[in-house]
Structure formats: C-alpha cells, structure tokens
Amino acid sequence: MTSTNDPLASLFSSQTCATLLPPSRADELFEAMFGDAEDGAYDLAIEYIDTHGSTLRFDILLTERPGHCLACNLTYGLPQVFSRHPVLDIAGLVDKIDAILGQRGTVGGWLLGSTSQRSRSLHVIPLTIDYQPTAAL
C-alpha cells in the first residue's frame, strides 16, 4: 500500500505498474521454462510500495492460478531465478522505472529480497531500487 504523502505514488499507479510487468509476462516465463504457459502456477504483477530514504520499494506479486498450487517450495528460490531470467528482465524493468522518474531522480542498483507469503494464494518478492532524487519533490 502506498502512502498518500508519497510524491512518487502517482507515477507508479496500478496502470503504470501493469505496463512495467504486463500480465502476459507470466505466460511468457512459463513457456520459456516449461514449454507451456498452462504449466505455470501463478500470475505476476508488480506493485509500488513507497520511497523510503534513498530507495524505491516495489513488490512482485505471485498470485496462485485457479486449479494450481502455489507451494512454498516453488517460490522461495525465485528471487535468484528472477534476478537473471531474460524473460523477466528485472534490469530492464528498473531502466523503465528510471525513465518514468524522468527529472525527479535516478536509479542505481537493485536487489530482489526473499520471498514472503502473504496468504496461501499470494507470495511476494520485494524489489528494492537505489534512488537518488534530483529535484525537490
């Protein structure tokens, strides 16, 4: 959930986040990994959380697909896989975030954190991005 006092929240609306990580990306990932998108157990989305100090915080959401099981052992190794998988292209996603920021700031390094379980059908991988504001917000 974003704070109403966060000056960047309007830049990273749910619509903007859907362009950063389109719903079709999960199918593309499962086709690359398994040869068939129907073998995938979850859908992917990204959600802006906030600006905290010199970081931007996002969550990558893994939502269980109907008829599939989002088992813990399936998702806990994903940060390492996601960080280097060319279909997800996290570095490219961070470049797009930098472009959206425009004159407001620049981004640097990024890190995918450990998977956490919000519910049986929703797991989350935090994405933390180094951020340096360049204009008064």
CA distance 49 to 23: 19
Q: What percent of the chain has pLDDT over 90?
A: 55
Cα 45 to the center of its chain, rounded Å: 6
Spell out the domain ranges in the chain: 9-133
pTM above 0.85, yes or no: yes
What are the two backbone dihedrals, phi and then psi, of residue 74, each rounded to the nearest 5 degrees?
-85, -25
pLDDT digits 0-9 by tens, 102-114: 989 999 999 999 9
Q: What percent of the chain has pLDDT over 70?
A: 93
CA distance 116 to 121: 12
CA distance 42 to 122: 9
Q: What is the pLDDT of residue 111?
A: 96
pLDDT digits 0-9 by tens, 57-100: 999 999 998 888 887 556 777 888 888 888 889 999 999 999 99
